[in-house]
Amino acid sequence: MSIPDSVIRDTSLHEVVHELPLNRDVADHILSFTNKYFTYKDDPDLFWYTLGKETCNLTILGYNCFRNVQQAFGKSSKFSKSMDMHNVFIDFKGHLDNILCASYGINSDEEKKFRKRFGDIPMTHVFYNNSEYIEPPPLGLRFKKFLTVFEERYIRVFISRFREYLDHLYTDIDTISLTEKIGDWNFPRYIRENRSKIKKLVEKTRVRLNKIEHFVKVSVNA
């Protein structure tokens, strides 16, 4: 299954700790006290870059899932309509891009530092042109009306990754500064409004994923 690892997870200490002369339980206990994800408080630049990349990767994974479901059940099926996450990602990207650009400022010194650190990626591309290459899975028979084991696993990986992303986003979005002025931008109210919209979207998307998971359960080898 050609799916890149999650980029929002902070695994920088894992290899170091597991190389110590400790049994695995002790090592895992130590790691439980470290941050599971790249956080805004620890490194705002890295938080935004990895969040943008994971958003773009999930967009592709979601489309791949939709493509296979539509092939199997048809465009008008309830499963296909639920699996079509295009507008969901458009909304997430729009709100997150709003906050990012308001926080740094376009063509600001802060953006220049950001671009220098992350391969010269423009601020406006972080949530729109920042994905890894993900090979699409092969399409099954048209209108076969069931999922293969491989298709089921692929969709479940997407659901798991998306839920992890939503949990991370819901928790960390409140840590983003409302008052700090960066560049020429100083829009605490604007940022607050976008944060609120993101949290509402997270809650709606969680319900959507539960619905998709139900369709997966009843569609394997049906």
Q: What is the pLDDT of residues 108-133, one digit of tens each?
A: 899 999 999 999 999 999 999 999 99
The pTM of this model reads 0.87
| Blockwise average pLDDT, block size 10, the chain, 222 residues | 84 45 46 66 94 97 97 96 97 95 86 95 95 91 93 96 96 79 63 92 98 94 62
**In this predicted structure, what is the pLDDT of residue 18?**
41
User: What is the average pLDDT score of the chain?
Assistant: 86
Long-range contacts of 200-206 (CB under 8 A, 24+ apart): 201/88, 201/91, 201/92, 201/95, 202/166, 202/169, 202/170, 205/88, 205/162, 205/166, 206/163, 206/166
